[in-house]
Amino acid sequence: MTKTDMQIKQDIEAELRWDPMVNAAQIGVTVDKGTVSLLGSVDTYAEKWAAEDATKRVSGVRAVAQDLNVKVLGEHKHGDSEIAAAALSAIKWDVYVPNTVTANVTNGVVTLGGQVHWNFQRDAAERAVRYLTGVVSVQNSIALKPDTASAAKVKEGVQAALQRQATTDGNSIHIETSGGQVTLTGHASSWQAIEDASNAAWAAPGVTDVRDQLKMQMNA
């Protein structure tokens, strides 16, 4: 049975209260036709992402818009130099992050720079610093410079990957390519299927950008 917006809202609020990584008392929830907005403030950047993950676990959610502010207080507060040292150490010790990645910190905002060959390396760098204390935001400005591949080869590779992965519905996902850019359209029945499709696209050699326009399709 399809949930009403009020039911979705109540379930999200319950899920936020259930998650020990989230202080639900600081977060407001609004829902409009399955699109959720999270409002308010959180104590850490990590909590901001935990709140989004909790929201996506609730059935009926079609999209999530975050408007959560990070207000670092008390034991989580650190100076930019301390955060920068921790960020550089985290990046250095992450096996998936090449030494071409840099990190600068201003007012708690970590800006990642440099150049990598694969998107998973760019994502790994962001994950490495996302959970550091004192961080209020992460700006991922790492340039992606993959080996070149034709649009036809890129499309063929993504289609093959989707067909191999049982968690995605390849028949409902459409792929368009232009150079190294991949656009995914169509629908999927879960956040996991959408994430799997995006990851499959990024894993194709030669991909420089993935535009995920997949829509959630809920079962009646």
Range list for CATH 3.30.1340.30 in the chain:
5-71, 77-144
More confident residue, 158 or 40: 40
User: CA 93 to CA 183: how far, in whole Å?
Assistant: 33
- pTM of the full structure: 0.80
* CATH class of segment(s) 5-71: alpha beta
Residue 191 confidence (pLDDT): 81
- Tokens at residue 135, please? 């961080």
Q: What angle do CA 197, 121, 170 make, to 5 degrees?
A: 10
In the chain, what percentage of residues exceed pLDDT 90? 63
Residue 11 confidence (pLDDT): 97
Q: Which residues, other chains included, contact 64 with Cβ-Cβ below 8 Å and sequence gap of 6+?
A: 35, 36, 37, 38, 52, 55, 56
Q: Tokens 């649009």 belong to which residue?
A: 151
Which pLDDT tens digit goes with each residue over 143-169?
999 888 788 888 888 888 888 875 556
**Mean of pLDDT values over 134-139:** 95
Range list for CATH 3.30.300.130 in the chain:
151-216
* Architecture of the CATH domain 77-144: 2-Layer Sandwich (3.30)
Sign of CA pseudo-dihedral 72, 74, 76, 80: positive
- With beta carbons less than 8 A apart as the criterion, state whether 135 and 129 touch: yes
Among 44-48, 88-92, 118-122, 158-162, which stretch is predicted with the lowest mean pLDDT? Answer: 158-162
Q: What angle do CA 55, 58, 61 make, to 5 degrees?
A: 80
Which pLDDT tens digit goes with each residue over 100-117?
999 999 999 999 999 999
Quote the CATH superfamily of domain 151-216. Fe-S cluster assembly (FSCA) (3.30.300.130)
